Amino acid sequence: MSTRRSDVFRRKLARLGWGLSAPALTVIAAVTVFPIAYAIAMSVSNVNATGSGFSLSGITGSNYSIMFHAAQWRYALFFTIVYTAVTVAVEVVLGTAIALVLERLSAGRGWMMALLLIPWSMITVINAQLWGYIYNPTYGILDTVFSHIGLGTPVVLGTRVPAIAALMVADIWKTTPFVAIIVLAGLVMIPRDFYEAAEVDGASGWTAFWRITFPLLRPTIALAVLFRVLQAFGLFDLPFVLTSGGPGYSTQSLAILAYNAMFRDLDFGPGAAVATSTALLVVIGCLLFLRVFRAQAEREA
């Protein structure tokens, strides 16, 4: 806002803003507030699942205490954080690289975009089954390729590290394209004259990227990171189909743990505690990330 405006005008604009936001906020509140509040309430009550709904009684911290004391929760938290960190890092670097390539591609960009959308729009469960088929130990293509090049027949999903890596590959394949699309959309919004100025200055492609493209792209990359962190933290379908959380508890994510607690063991209280704390952790993580990001951006500006 370059010019100073009168308070009256400012208030009018704010009212207008609320007016424009009201439909969206109303729909969101009407649908999401009650279920989320109910889930949070479950996480601090003694919940009994009964044929006629849940009975919530009292306010207790025992669900959270059970959770903090469970080795399974601690491992699931560790696994989910590591999984998120690795996949998001790979996807953002790879996705940015793909976006840069697509932006420079002289022909066939439309086709490449369409191709990128296919993995992203694939039904998640089918994506998991596709990779299950690829990793299949008796007739999977991976097994065949490995034995052709003399690496024997690996039991991909049977041991911890390869199983986690296998999940990550499937995730990266499906999600990198969307990161690329987000970044590409940010890339094409950078005005062309910035580059032309750089070319006049004689900056090399690499320097131009770090000096011009990257700083201008940073909000978009931040959005992509944010988006991916949210999704990766909710990791569910891939391990549910490919490993059922195994071998052992190796690939049991927080979402699988919460699902098992609620829908397999009918422990709705502890399950809701896992779900609620996961959401809190992610939001805190995202806010910290945005704060660091903003501080960084301000320092450089």
Partner 1 sequence: MRNRSRHKQRRVFSGVNLAALLVFLFIALPLYWMIASAFKTPANVGASPPQYLPHPASVQNFNVAFSQNTFGRYIVNSVIVAVAATALVLVLGTLAGYAMARLPMRGTFTILVILLMISVFPEIAVVVPLYALLRDIGWLNSYQALIIPYTAFFLPFAIWILRNYFLAIPHEMEESARIDGANPLRTIWSIILPQAWPGLFTAAIFTFTACWTEFLMALSFNVSNDYRTIPVGVALFGSQFTVPYGTLFAASVVAVVPIGILVFIFRRSVVSGLTAGAVKG
Partner 2 sequence: MGSGQAGRDGGPARWRAGAVAIAAVVMSLSAAACGSSTSSTPGAGGSATASGSATSGNITWWASPITTSTPDPRAVLISAFEKAYPHIHVTLQSAPTDTDTNRASLITTISGGAASPDVYMGDVIWPAQFGHAGLAVPLSKYLPGSYWSTFAPGLVAGATYSGQVWGAPFFEDQGFLYYRKDLLAKEHMPVPTTWQQLETDAVALKNKGLVKYGYVWQGASYEGLTCNFMEYLGSAGGSVLNSSLTKATIDSPAGTQALTFMRSLITSGASPGAVTTFQEAQAMSAFATGQAAFLRNWNYGWIYSQTASSPSSVVGKVGVAPLPAFAGQPSPGTSNIGGWNLYINPHSKNIAADLTFIKWMTGPAAQTTLATEFAEIPTVQSVRASQTVVAKDPVLAAVPKTRLIPRPAQSPAYAKVSQAIYTNVNSVLSGSASPGAALSSAASQINAAETSTGL
Distances 223 to 49, 78, 134, 183 between C-alpha atoms, Å: 39, 24, 32, 9
Q: Which range of residues in 37-45, 82-90, 159-167, 243-251 is near partner 1 by CB under 8 A?
A: 37-45
Answer yes or no: are the C-beta atoms of 253 and 79 closer than 8 Å.
Answer: yes
Tokens of 80: 């989910």
Spatial separation of the C-alpha atoms in residues 236 and 241, rounded to whole Å: 9
- Amino acid residing at 127: N
Per CB under 8 A, the list member of 117, 137, 185, 197 interacting with partner 2 is 137
Selection from partner 2, partner 1, none that 18 binds (CB < 5 to 8 A by kind) is: partner 1
Between 257 and 296, how does the x/- string for binding to partner 1 read (CB under 8 A)?
Answer: -xx--xx----x--xx--xx-xx--xx--xx---------
Contacts of 45 (CB under 8 A, 6+ apart): 56, 57, 58, 59, 60, 63, 269
Answer yes or no: are the C-beta atoms of 145 and 203 closer than 8 Å.
Answer: no
Per CB under 8 A, the list member of 80, 87, 96, 220 interacting with partner 1 is 220
46 binds partner 1 (CB under 8 A): no
230 binds partner 2 (CB under 8 A): no
Total residues found in the chain within this entry: 301
For residue 247, is it left (φ>0), alpha (ψ between -120 and 50) or beta?
beta
For residue 150, is it left (φ>0), alpha (ψ between -120 and 50) or beta?
left
- Tell which positions 224-253 bind partner 1, by CB under 8 A: 226-227, 230, 233-234, 236-237
Q: Which range of residues in 65-73, 83-91, 124-132, 160-168 is near partner 1 by CB under 8 A?
A: 124-132
- Tell which positions 170-209 bind partner 1, by CB under 8 A: 173, 177-178, 181-182, 184-189, 191-193, 199, 202
Spatial separation of the C-alpha atoms in residues 3 and 1, rounded to whole Å: 6
**Minimum separation from the CB atom of position 135 to partner 2 (A):** 8
Per CB under 8 A, the list member of 70, 86, 169, 203 interacting with partner 2 is 70
169 binds partner 2 (CB under 8 A): no
Per CB under 8 A, the list member of 261, 272, 275, 282 interacting with partner 2 is 261
67 binds partner 1 (CB under 8 A): no
